Amino acid sequence: MSELPSRTLLIEIGTEELPAGAQRALAQALANALESLLHKQRLSARKIQYYSTPRRLAVLAFDVPATQPQQLIERRGPSLDIAFDNKGRATAAALGFAHSAGVDVAELQTLQTPEGAWLQLHRVQPGLPALEILSARLPRMLTSLPLPRRMRWGEEKAEFLRPVRWLVARLDKQIIPFMAFGLSSSGTSFGHRFHHPGPVELPALTNYSDALLSARVVVDADERERRIRQKVTALASEHGAIADAPDLLFTEITGMVEWPSVLEASYAPEYLALPEPVLITTLVHHQRFIPLREASTRRLLPRFIAVLNLESREPEQVRHGLERVVRPRLEDARFHYQRDRKRNFETYFKDLGALTFAPHLGSMAEKSLRLVRMAPRIAKIFSVDTDQLERAAYLCKCDLATGLVIEFPELQGILGGQYASESGESKAVSAAISTQYLPAGPNDPLPDTPCGLALAFADRLDTLIGGFAAGLEPTATKDAFGLRRAAFGLIRIAADSVSSINLEPLLEEAAKLYPQELDTQNSAPALHAFLVERLRSLLLDRGAAADVVNAVLAVAPLEPADVMARIEALTALRRHPEIIALAAANKRIANILRQAQRHSSPMDSTAPAAPLESAEQTLETALQQASKQIASSLNAREYPQALNTLVKLYQPLNEFFDSVLVMAPDRSVRHRRLKLLSRLQTLFLSIADIGKLQQPTIPT
């Protein structure tokens, strides 16, 4: 059979400016949806590549079969005995089968088998043209893409992330005809909004990127980012400087331009007197400009680079416009900074009474005072000076009342630390205030001082207790109070700090600091479960096996560092054959004890019992020895040693099950053996519920 001809397929959705953060994910979703469609229709492509710019999402599929391969269809119908009556006429069974197959009875064949003869459909169904299939199925695929939010435009009922302005659907030179988003598909794209606003012909789809490049559009996001970085680096070097921009900023800028160019601009050197975070925030977060630093000293320069979406014929006018945008922001910042510094930082505490922490949870002043009262207990855990932690807790929210933080809320904490330092607070207190919101994300560092760790921990502890008690716990779609972030930060600090922190008693103690009318007791189980799930997520993200995590979390206290130590020990031994055998034995013990509780009398009978059998005595002796050794290992948190001791119980336990009847007819004997198994179960569960280990971990 000769190989079917193949085609190149292009789908392009032209839009109004798409949010920078959504472009790549949406383009990938488009590619995934197309790949799934082609696979289901037996038109799988050799390669699929996706592109994104602010004004388009596109996907190219290479070597798509022009036609579906033919398909052999075989279906067995009713037996001949019931398919035809004694006069050879087709019965309802035969007619129904033929109708379901879309043929006449005369077109059916006979299938002979050892069980008898049957009606059979046997035919070769030719493949449909790809153009026909895609024309019918692409509209639904395009309008079903997963979107973070949807909008309508004009009088159309169609919805998309932004209004759709053109639609390209081509199979080589053939337009795939269909309607979507109120538009008819076409074979022509459009170029850059300003440099090439007209249509762009696409003579060969394999040269799609080159065709758009001639229309001033770099359609490949990775290539666009590479060009931006290269241009920024080169321009900075011309001024003896280096660019100071996080990777996330370059990624965001890439989603804002189709034809990047760069321009250097400046601001008055006098603004360098402002705190550096204010300058960086103004340039990066508010304007998406790239700050420059002196190459040799890394000192911030009063210069920046803007990435533009056009090549201006009047760069000086553009530069003037950029500087005019930055100047008022910096002037506002300077005004607030100078006014804030006229007051001692501590005096802002009295203003916190007017700032609400959260509904039903009082003011920021009340929250700060709860942190102060919590400080002695937390200070012991983190081995920090209590007076320093109390001072940091008292002052940590004061910057929320300052003008500069009201103007730049993303700098809360950072500016508080600077203001505290300028007001004469100690280095430890100032550093703790500045890092209290770390970690804000999964990849953020922890506070780099013990006092900072302690303050960040206490702050999250208070937030979580209050949030759950006030009914603000997160839902699947909403977390307005940021409790997931707070819980993840709390778990990370507890897991990665130098101290091992048991959260359970701390939650109880901190809850007592809230007024009695706030019911923290009833919300405690939900908060505990919430923290366990955050811990589970952290452990899985760090590569721990799910069954090991489940085994440890089933019995371990809510003490992240301790949980991680148990997981590390169990992971090292989880493929040990005797651990797997013990896991099976643990399940068996649990089943026996469960059945005994249902059907037996209480296990504390004092009736005299028959003497211990040999295997029973051996297990009893081994259990007594192991219990002492494991208790000592657990006290020292030497979990590998505890597990190794547990493994030694495999042989006597195996012999016990082989030669001893647990559910003996003699009630006193039965009770004694059940007690022995109950003690064994308790010992197993002192480390982990190894019965949750999955069988596939057995080595082959």
pLDDT of 2 > 50? The answer is no
Give residue 609's pLDDT band: very low, low, confident or very high (50, 70, 90): low
Number of domains within the chain:
5
H/E stretch holding 294 reads strand 290-294
Q: What is the mean pLDDT of residues 403-429?
A: 96
What pLDDT is stored for residue 1 in this prediction?
40
pLDDT of 642 > 50? The answer is yes
When comparing pLDDT for 147 and 497, which is higher? Answer: 147
Give residue 260's pLDDT band: very low, low, confident or very high (50, 70, 90): very high
pTM of the entire predicted model: 0.80
Give residue 441's pLDDT band: very low, low, confident or very high (50, 70, 90): confident
pLDDT of 698 > 70? The answer is no
Residue 109 within a domain: yes
H/E stretch holding 78 reads strand 71-79
Per-residue pLDDT of 317-347, as tens digits, reads: 999 999 999 999 999 999 999 999 999 999 9
Extract the tokens encoding 115.
């069980």
The alpha carbon dihedral of 349, 352, 353, 359 has a sign of negative
d(CA 144, CA 33): 9
Residues 439 and 499 in one domain: yes
Per-residue pLDDT of 182-197, as tens digits, reads: 999 999 999 999 999 9
Range of the domain at 10: 6-68+129-213
Residues 610 and 494 in one domain: no
What pLDDT is stored for residue 85 in this prediction?
85
pLDDT of 412 > 60? The answer is yes
Give residue 695's pLDDT band: very low, low, confident or very high (50, 70, 90): low
Residues 61 and 31 in one domain: yes
**Mean pLDDT, the chain, whole residue set:** 92
Pairing between strand 116-125 and 109-113? Answer: antiparallel
pLDDT of 673 > 50? The answer is yes
Residue 555 within a domain: no
166 three-state secondary structure: strand
Per-residue pLDDT of 537-557, as tens digits, reads: 999 999 999 999 999 999 999
Residue type at position 353: G
Residues 227 and 324 in one domain: yes
What pLDDT is stored for residue 602 in this prediction?
52
Extract the tokens encoding 4.
């079917």
What pLDDT is stored for residue 238 in this prediction?
94
Residues 538 and 494 in one domain: yes
What pLDDT is stored for residue 697 in this prediction?
40
Residues 75 and 139 in one domain: no
Q: What CATH number corresponds to the domain at position 33?
A: 3.30.70
Residues 6+ apart with CB under 8 A from 604: 671
Tokens 């973070």 sit on residue: 148
Residue 560 within a domain: no
Residues 457 and 517 in one domain: yes
pLDDT of 135 > 90? The answer is yes
What pLDDT is stored for residue 699 in this prediction?
39
Residue 562 within a domain: no
Most confident of 63-72, 350-359, 435-444: 350-359
Give the lowest-confidence range in 132-136, 353-357, 664-668: 664-668
Q: Give the percent of the chain with pLDDT over 90.
A: 73
For 379, other C-beta atoms within 10 Å of its C-beta total 21
Last-in-domain residue among 296, 321, 340: 340
Residues 314 and 379 in one domain: no
